[in-house]
Each structure stands twice: as C-alpha cells, then as structure tokens.
Amino acid sequence: MIQHASSMWKFRHFLLALVRLDLRQRYRKSVLGVGWSLLNPIAMTVVFTVVFSKVLGAGADPIAYAASVLTGMAVWSFLRDSTLQGCRCFQANEAYIRQSPIPYTVYTLRTAMGQAIHSSLALGVVVTMVAIYQGDPLVLLRLGLVAPGLVLLFLAAWAAATIAAFTTVFFHDTQHLLEVLAQIVFFMTPIMYPRGLLDDKQLGWLVDANPVYWVLELTRTPLLTGHLPAPTMYLAGAGVTVALVGLAAGVVAWLQKRVIFVL
Amino acid sequence: MASIDVTDASVTFTATQSKQVTLKEYLLKGLFRKSVNPQIAIHALSGINLTARDGDRVGIIGHNGAGKTTLLKLLAGIYTPTAGTSRVEGRVCSLFDISVGFENEATGWENIVYRSYLQGESPASLRDKMQEIAEFSELGEFLSIPVKNYSAGMRMRLAFAIATAAQPEVLLVDEVLAVGDMAFQIKAKARMRAMMSVSRLMVVVSHDLNTVRDTCTKVVWMRKGQVVQEGPPAEVVAAYNRDATERAAAARAQAQVGGQAAPVARVA
C-alpha cells in the first residue's frame, strides 16, 4: 500500500501534465472555452428560478431552490461522470499501460481530477450567485466549510472510478449497467426535490439507505446554510467513503496483476 | 548496482477465442455441452531462469512467438510472473512499443514532456533535455503541431529521441532499430551503440544474429516460452542457426514427399 502510494507520487508530474491536457481538450476549438463550465450552471439557475417561481409557483425562495438543485447536480454529476468515465479509463490509457509499469490508479486519478476541476467551477458559480443574490459577500466564506466534505467526495469518486475501471476490463457490460443504475439513484436521491418529500410519505429510509445522499449532504448543507453538518452526518459520509476506498484497494490488490492480460 | 534475477518465472494467462461473450455463454459456461468459446491457457513463459549483473549484455533470440517480448515485458515490470519471481534493480529504460502512447491532440513538444515524465523525469531534469531531444528528432517546427498530423516515420523519430534521452542503468530493447529513413537509421544505430556502452546492463531482443553475436556477452535462445539454450554468443547463435537450417530442410523434404511445390520459408 505504502509502496503503491510512493510509486504514484513519483509519477505526479506525469499525472498533472495529463490532467492539464484533458482540461484544455475539453474546450478545444470552443470559442467560449472554460466559459461553458461557468455558463452552464448560470443558465440552469435562470431556467430553474423562472420555471419554478413563475410556472409552477412552488417555493417562496426560488433562488434558494435553484442553489440547492445546482449544488446537488454538481456533486451528483461529479460522482456519476467520474464513475462512468472511469469505465473506459484503462482502455483509454492502454498505450501507457502496455509501456510502463506505473500504478493503474494514476489513470483513474486522472479521470477523477479532470471531473473535479470541472465540477468545482460549477460549485463556485453557485456560491457566487447566492452571495450576489443575498448581497452578502460573507457567503463566499462558506467555501471553507465545504472542504472536509469535498475531500471525502473526491476520495469516494476516485474509489468508484477505480472500481469501475477494473470491473469493466473483466466485464464489459459494466458501463451500460452503471448508466441504468445512475438513472435510478439520481431519482432516489433528494437532488431535484427536498428530502422532506420522501419523509412525508414514510420513505425516509430510502434516503438513509442511499450512500450518495450522505456524501452529497456534507457539501450541500454547509454551502447552503453556512453551518457545519452534524457530526453524525460526517460519520456517515466518512463511513461511505472509507467503505468505497477499502473496496477499491481490495480490487486493486486482487486484480492489478491480471488486467494487462485481459485488456 | 544494476541486476536482474529471474527465478523459475512463468507467465500464464487465459484467452478466449472471440472477444464477444454472449449472455448464454456467460451464464452457462459450457455447463451442458462443450463451450463454443473455450478458454485457452497460454503459457507465454514457463520456468525461466535468468541472472545478469553489471556489464552484462544479454541477447534473446528465437522464432516469432517464442516469448522473447514477453520476457522483456516481464523484466520491465509490465507483466508480473504468475509463478516464480522476477527482480530487476536499477533505473530501467524500455524501448518497445515506443511508437504508440502519444497524446494525439497535443503537440510534439507537449508529448516530449508527457513521455519523459512517464519515464520518470522531473521538470528540473527535463529542462536540460528538451532541446537535445528536439534536435535529435530533427522535427524542427513540426514539434509545434499536434502529433495526429505526424506520419508514422515522424512518430518513430520522436518516440526514439525521447526514449533514448534517458540515462538508464538497465536498458531493455526490442528491435527498435527500424526507425525512420536511411539517414536517421544510421544516427539511431549510433545512439543505440552509445547507450549500450553507457548502460550498465542491457537485454536486447533481436533477429539480427550478427549484431547479437557481436555485441552481447551472453545469449538466450527461446522456444515456446522456454529457454532452449543459454551461454556464450557464438555457441548459442551457431546452435540456433543449425536448428533453423535443419527445420527448413525437414520442411522442404516433407513438401517434396507430399509431391507439392509448397513454398519454403526462408530462415535467416
């Protein structure tokens, strides 16, 4: 394990150079460039606020609703995209894998880091918009409160990408299965609707049993309320992350020597 | 000190005949009738023993599919032995599959950076080498355009220039000398010779028996994943040549017995 980590550290320059390349590639030949990463959440907020305040007439505070949805979406799409992109990770880096004996987790980290930067921009937009709307620049300080949640979130996404990458090599249908699964989990997680909606229908256990909810809440609660979540929330979120990381470490130890023969 | 210690190493893996596995096949796994897509165990290497120390130049010869490249990849750490052990000490530089593994959308300059980092360079150590790599590749202003616009020859030039810029202690080479045009080949050969003299330990896979005999201190002849003979270059190369001639003669004889003018494979 320690050997694995030190070996990864040795190739940090390689990793960071490729992450930078991926970022540039994402908006290659686009006039707006990184602007798209910012414009997308802004446009979504406008749409949400208009649709939900004017058309559906729900909620007294459309901006708060939009902020909640956008935070949820940013965290959710980070988890989903890291995992789904993780599926193709080893195929995409096959040429490197066949050439150099560097730890495979470098490649899944490449995937997770690329997605993380993209999602951070979206989160930054949400916070800025809330700050502007409330006319309170102190809202920006909430970003500090999010840090522990984001660390756990990132580790969880990296672990999920690693598990997905290894599984796909041995079972090619993984990506399609995960796509279906992601749809189900998305609707089961309180992202588009508040948690209370399910609690009222005695379906609160569905949320409690959902690991995505626990990881999500550690980012959403401090960002929207400005208060740290309860310690039990952190415990639950950390529990989910540790379980995922443990599973990923097990998968790496079990399969890393065999991947090259199957790829 | 650079060293290679391979003890009783085997590499065995399974492969299926076709990549496509149907759901029926997956669930039943040949339960009721013989599988139409059976798993084949491939013994790429079996029971290999090899030791080399500072100053050794090991040549590996054998027919295609004899396991030469697999052995090289085992030494590079890309394959891990499924039985036995393989230990290589020293900074390894491997020259195989070098023309793949470019980031196509990135420029030549950027690819120099990526691949050098992959070989374990740091930003500081690379700074001095960038110019030298660029000059050796002779690609000039082409280095500023994306690699996807390169020809196969240009890719090889760049790959070779990057791969050989390292100062390895252990050099693993898989017949990479067919690089680019005539002028560049001469240059490449000269650099290879220079690298061979600098590196403390070298393992080279080649079909060029003369080169192997002249440059190596020890030759390993492989067949079907096993070592047939190991020893002084002249001796092993001669035995290999004898064997190849005998096989060719036997094949010719068989063709004549069959009464058909079967094409005879020329063996170098």
> Can you tell me the distance from the alpha carbon of A254 to that of B255, in angstroms, rounded to the nearest whole number?
50
Distance CA A76, CA A74 (A): 6
Residue B268 is predicted with a pLDDT of 43
> Which of B77, B105, B122 lies closest to A13 in CB terms?
B122
Does residue A175 register a pLDDT over 80?
Answer: yes
DSSP classification of residue B118: H
pLDDT above 60 for B183: yes
Residue A215: what pLDDT? 93
Q: List the domain boundaries for chain A.
A: 2-262
- Quickly state the pLDDT bin for B28 (edges 50, 70, 90): low
Cβ separation A96–B118 shorter than 8 A: yes
Question: Does residue A4 carry a pLDDT above 60?
Answer: yes
pLDDT of res. A109:
95
CB < 8 Å from A in window 51-80 of B: 76-80
User: Virtual CA dihedral for A207, A213, A218, A220, nearest 10 degrees?
Assistant: -100
pLDDT at A124: 87
Return the domain boundaries, chain B.
Answer: 1-15+42-91+167-175+199-242, 92-166
- In this complex, is the C-beta atom of A27 within 8 Å of any C-beta atom belonging to chain B? no
What pLDDT is stored for residue A57 in this prediction? Answer: 54
Q: For position A176, what pLDDT does the model report?
A: 94
Which of A15, A99, A104 is the best residue to mutate to test the B interface, defined by the most B CB atoms within 10 Å of its own CB? A99
Asked if residue B19 has pLDDT above 80, the reply is: no
Q: Highest mean pLDDT: which of A52-56, A129-133, A210-214, B201-205?
A: A210-214
Predicted pLDDT at B256: 81
Does residue A24 register a pLDDT over 70? yes
Pair type for strands B226-231 and B218-223 = antiparallel
Per-residue pLDDT of A34-60, as tens digits, reads 777 778 777 877 787 777 766 655 566
All residues of chain A having their beta carbon less than 8 Å from the beta carbon of residue B121 are 13
Contact state of B117 with A14 under an 8 Å Cβ cutoff: yes
Maximum average pLDDT range among A193-202, B138-147, B148-157, B203-212: B138-147
The residue behind tokens 């080893």 is A90
Mean pLDDT rounded to a whole number for chain B: 83
Residue B142, pLDDT > 50, answer yes
Q: Work out the minimum CA distance from A260 to partner chain B, whole angstroms.
A: 7
Residue B126 or A26, more confident = B126
Indicate the pLDDT class of residue B33, thresholds 50, 70 and 90: low
B62 neighbors B221 (Cβ within 8 angstroms) = yes
The pLDDT value given to residue B167: 78
Query: How confident is the model over A197-212, as pLDDT tens digits?
Result: 888 888 889 899 999 9
Query: pLDDT grade, residue B18 (50/70/90)?
Result: low
Nearest CA in chain B to A104: B78
pTM of the model: 0.86
Looking at residue A239, its pLDDT comes to 95
Select from B78, B105, B114 the Cβ nearest to the Cβ of A260: B78
Nearest-5° Cα angle at B217, B215 to B221: 95
Tell me whether B101 touches chain A (CB under 8 Å). yes
**Is A96 touching B (CB cutoff 8 A)?**
yes
Strands B218-223 and B57-61: parallel
Contacts of A15 (CB under 8 A, 6+ apart): A8, A106, A109, A110, A113
The whole-angstrom separation of Cα A111 and Cα A149 is 20
Instruction: List the one residue out of B115, B113, B114, B110 whose CA is nearest residue B98.
Output: B115
What pLDDT, on a 0 to 100 scale, did the predictor assign at position B146? 93
Rounded Cα distance between A42 and A54, Å, is: 18
Q: What is the largest CA-CA distance in chain A?
A: 59
Averaged pLDDT for residues B15-36: 64
User: Could you tell me the fold of the domain covering B1-15+42-91+167-175+199-242?
Assistant: Rossmann fold (3.40.50)
- Chain B CA closest to residue A257: B80
Contact A257 B80 (CB under 8 A): yes
Helix (H) / strand (E) element for A135: namely none
